[in-house]
Structure 1
Amino acid sequence: MALNPTAEALLAAVLASPRAVAAHDKSAWVNLFTADAEVNDPVGSRPHVGRAAIERFYDTFIAPNGIAFDVAADLVGGHSVVRDLYIETTMSTGAMVRVPMHLRYDLAALDGDWKIVRLAAHWEFPAMVTQLMLRTGVRGLTASAKLGPQLIANQGLGGTFGMMRAIRSVGKAGKTAVTQLFSAAAATDIGRVRTLLDDSTVLQLPAGSTVSVEEFTNRTRNMRWDKLIAAGRTVSISVELDGAPGVAFVDFAASSHRIDAITVFLDENA
């Protein structure tokens, strides 16, 4: 089944991003965003807001590197596109890291074109640093030594400390809570699901369609999942529901492990 015209246009706007990255075309990449757009990469770090900040982001993290996208699924819901993928980054020293990731692009129509309002990159900063430092040898150590000065030169001390905020996340405890919840839902154990959620939790299945706890539990029976990523106050997770691939975003409250919201993007054309 083909995508509807709006979904096709949204996906086309998003696919222009990796093309511009591969071509190292800074102007083309930055022009994909609205003037007041936000790049939150990784989620949990301080966002880069506005054209000047997004240009500095490009200079710091894209320009010096070769970046390849290994995509498992592209999902469209509402005016958002979610990509389930791995990104392989080859740094100037030759060090290469392969990072599991979920990318969410929120878009808006502007002068007849779809533009990116927010890019949220869900990946685990500490795991990437560990891979770079411990598994890529001298090339990785050299790349790490170069990255620090690049960060300070392009982002300033404030931006550097803002990046370091990504070290903190809901982490293992968040992943455990999500695993418990999804296990209970897959087993249609609504009593257990109710103990892990509360009346204020917003459940969207699929994205844009709010459902009750009962409907969420019934629709996710026999659900399968893997690739849990804890970034900031969110755990993202690759799922398969009735044969359709998807990505779920589980958002936690600011100061606890209470689940605020679950949004599931599904490939409903699968």
Structure 2
Amino acid sequence: MEIREAMLATAEKSPTAVADHDRTAWLALFDDGGLVNDPVGSAPHRGSEELGAFYDTFIAPNTVVFHPEHDIVCGDTVVRDLTLEIQMADGVTLLVPAHLRYVLASPSRIAGLYAHWELPSMVGQMLGKGAGALPVSGRLSLRLLKNQGLAGSLGFARGFVRTGAAHKRIAAAFFDDPVASDAPVTYDAAPAVPSSTLRDELIGWHVGKAIAAGDYVTLSLTRGRPSGETEHAVAMCRFTHRTLTDVTVYVDA
């Protein structure tokens, strides 16, 4: 099996184990000291004990269906552009747009899983379900406290602190005029260089889905090729306050 296919297969094993509610198989995907940051901006979970607590809190009680739109393999990373369908108890179903970034320690083991999705938007969607969502929310809070304690619950709540609409506009504008910014750019797993050096690679992208999580805005990008095919990428734009500090563009190999 080629490396690209092996990396994609490893990333796909995660939703398979989630769908099967196979805790052992899911944990076995991660390298020693493997990390999950879900959502980005919350406190990460590292190592088998913390990953087990994460599984018991967020995966075990729910049915999670992955609806992938595009998968990108770039360097040691697989990025999945997708929507998560989370079927909770009492008939509450949430649709969560996401970018999932799998950094691989090897083609068969995951070093880090970073889930970019908007926690405030998901909570707002849940509250919009009305009174039926209240018991679901209460049970989630109890599971958090039981499995991760007060510190873990507060760590999860850090996911509410994130970039916002203004940062999304700045990130999208970068691809209209990349030379106007001095943010360094990592493109297609190459070393970071000034954006002006990559002008030809950075122009022509159409910005689609935008997600604000933690210090990041992530963007779905598409661009037409001379052959008539569509090229796909995902950009991860990191901010310090209102300043765009660096951009990483994952382009499919």
Q: Which residue of 1 aligns with 2:124?
A: 130
Question: In structure 2, which of residues 134, 150, 166 is the aligned counterpart of residue 157 of structure 1?
Answer: 150
Paired amino acid for 2:90: T
* Aligned residues with identical type, % of pairs: 39
Structure 1 residue 212 displacement after superposition: 3.6
TM-score (norm 1): 0.88
Structure 1 residue 139 displacement after superposition: 2.6
Question: In structure 2, which of residues 204, 208, 211 is the aligned counterpart of residue 226 of structure 1?
Answer: 208
Paired amino acid for 1:228: A
Q: Do the aligned partners of 2:75 and 2:188 also contact (CA within 8 Å) in 1?
A: no
Cα separation, 2, equivalents of 1:166 and 1:234: 12
Deviation string, structure 1 residues 100-119 (Cα, Å, up to 9, x no partner): 0000000113xxx6211100
TM-score (norm 2): 0.93
Q: What residue ranges of structure 2 are gaps of 5+ in the alignment?
A: 225-229
The 4+ residue runs of structure 1 with deviation greater than 4 A are none
Q: Which residue of 2 aligns with 1:121?
A: 115
Q: Which residue of 2 aligns with 1:57?
A: 54
Instruction: Classify the secondary structure of the residue corresponding to 2:200.
Output: helix
Paired amino acid for 2:174: L
Q: Do the aligned partners of 1:42 and 1:124 also contact (CA within 8 Å) in 2?
A: yes
Instruction: Classify the secondary structure of the residue corresponding to 2:144.
Output: helix
Q: Which residue of 2 aligns with 1:251?
A: 238
Paired amino acid for 1:120: Y
Q: Do the aligned partners of 2:175 and 2:203 also contact (CA within 8 Å) in 1?
A: no
Q: Which residue of 2 aligns with 1:168?
A: 161
Structure 1 residue 211 displacement after superposition: 4.2
User: Is the aligned partner of 1:206 residue 2:188?
Assistant: yes
Structure 1 residue 209 displacement after superposition: 4.8
Aligned residues: 248
Deviation string, structure 1 residues 187-245 (Cα, Å, up to 9, x no partner): xxx3xx2xxx22xx321222335444224322222210111101000100100133201
Cα separation, 1, equivalents of 2:97 and 2:116: 9
Q: Do the aligned partners of 2:79 and 2:250 also contact (CA within 8 Å) in 1?
A: yes
User: Is the aligned partner of 1:11 residue 2:8?
Assistant: yes
Q: Which residue of 1 aligns with 2:218?
A: 236
Cα separation, 2, equivalents of 1:206 and 1:69: 25
Q: What residue ranges of structure 1 are gaps of 5+ in the alignment?
A: none
Question: In structure 1, which of residues 100, 105, 108 is the aligned counterpart of residue 102 of structure 2?
Answer: 105
Question: In structure 2, which of residues 159, 172, 192 is the aligned counterpart of residue 179 of structure 1?
Answer: 172
User: Is the aligned partner of 1:266 residue 2:221?
Assistant: no
Q: Do the aligned partners of 1:39 and 1:54 also contact (CA within 8 Å) in 2?
A: yes
Q: Do the aligned partners of 2:184 and 2:246 also contact (CA within 8 Å) in 1?
A: yes
Alignment of 1:12-31 (within 5 A): 12-31=9-28
Cα separation, 1, equivalents of 2:193 and 2:73: 19
Q: Do the aligned partners of 1:169 and 1:230 also contact (CA within 8 Å) in 2?
A: yes
Mean Cα deviation higher: 239-248 or 95-104? 239-248
Question: In structure 2, which of residues 66, 82, 92 is the aligned counterpart of residue 69 of structure 1?
Answer: 66
Deviation string, structure 1 residues 140-166 (Cα, Å, up to 9, x no partner): 222112111111001100000000001
Paired amino acid for 1:77: C
Structure 1 residue 7 displacement after superposition: 1.2
Cα separation, 1, equivalents of 2:37 and 2:188: 23
Paired amino acid for 1:247: V
User: Is the aligned partner of 1:95 residue 2:107?
Assistant: no
Structure 1 residue 23 displacement after superposition: 0.3
Q: Do the aligned partners of 1:77 and 1:208 also contact (CA within 8 Å) in 2?
A: no
Instruction: Classify the secondary structure of the residue corresponding to 1:239.
Output: strand
Structure 1 residue 9 displacement after superposition: 1.0
Q: Do the aligned partners of 1:220 and 1:241 also contact (CA within 8 Å) in 2?
A: no
Structure 1 residue 182 displacement after superposition: 2.0
Structure 1 residue 266 displacement after superposition: 1.7
